[in-house]
Copies of this chain bind each other. A is one copy, B any other.
Amino acid sequence: MKDRPTILDVAKRAGVSKSTVSLVLQGNPSVKETTRVAVRQAMADIGYVYNRSAATLRSYSSDLIGLVINDLRNPFFTEFAALFQMELARNGFATVLANSDEDPQMQTQMISSLIEHGVSGFVISPSYGREAETLAILGASNTPTLQVFRSLGPSDQRFPFLAPDYLHGGRLAAEHLREQGCKRVAFLGGLEGRAVTEERMSGYLSVLAEAEVEPVVLTGQATRSFGKAMTARLRAEYPDVDGVICFNDLVALGVLSACSELGVSVGTDLRVVGFDDIEDCQDSFPPLTSVSCNIPDFAKSTAEQILIWAKDGTVPPVIARSPVELIKRASSGQ
């Protein structure tokens, strides 16, 4: 970074004062067009590079947004992170990434570090644990903070919560399987007691209650290996189950893998629906029916809201639910 030209060098070269250069840098419309062009040319000539640390120090605002994710290796979150980052880049903001890896201690450490860097906003899909401490750190920093997908506590106006309408997704999945003729539908995966699990499940439960059918619930890790492992158990202990709604696509893909192994015909013997509609759903065998949370729109809308909040101070609604959609494929029948 040393020896980089400064706005003073640019000013000298363009024959204006450094204030004028600064105004050009900020896109201030009060600068005459010809001056603006001359300044831009001078910058190009001498290879000027904007020093954002100086700007941040003086202006109390950075163009950095902190993205804190509980499990970046889950493709659902990866897709969100990638799209979110690109959307911010389009708006001139950079993304500082932190994968808390379901470790609340690492999470608080990373958040503190991001605050020191002066991020203008946080988007966090939190790891559970140490909720009060984490919220206290975020609150003390007074940084606009949006919670996505998961929430660290009851509705809190300081930390608005943005998530897909999981409950409705659960309903859609259950209704679809009923319409496909399933007599007994199970719900598989998702850690018990977690809000996300509860929501996805309650859509399912309400449909079964309306149909007066007994639910079958097997909670657990949201992983392929869990889905794979539980399939045999499901077949053995609940032989009448002919439809299964999985907590997420990873679980569902595990089920599909086990069905291949066990010779169970998916889509006829057993109809399977996943959740999240990750890319893999299209290429599994059979292709997986899934509840899409429309991550591209969700990422874009999250980016817009945190940017508006960071720039104008406009706080988003405390709770917002984005629409979900059932994508029908062969795993749930024709």
Contacts and interface: CB of A to CB of B under 8 A. Distances in A.
Contact of A81 (B72, B109, B279): B72
A96 B94 contact: yes
A53 B72 CA distance: 27
Contacts of A199: none
A97 B118 contact: no
Given A89-B106, A141-B49, A224 B118 contact: no
A60 to B, nearest CB: 5
Contacts of A114: 94
A285 to B, nearest CB: 4
Contact of A75 (B54, B75, B101, B260): B75
Q: Which of A47, A97, A113 has the most CB of B within 10 A?
A: A97
Given A82-B72, A97-B85, A282-B225, A60 B117 contact: no
Contact of A118 (B47, B51, B98, B257): B51
Contacts of A51: 57, 116, 118
Assembly stoichiometry (copies): 2
Interface residue SS majority, chain A: helix
B64 A117 contact: yes
Contact of A95 (B61, B96, B284): B96
Interface string A96-140: 111101000010011001111110000000000000000000001
B72 A94 contact: no
Give the top 10 A-B pairs by smallest Cβ distance, nearest first: A224-B283, A97-B97, A260-B285, A53-B56, A257-B285, A72-B82, A53-B57, A82-B99, A53-B53, A50-B116
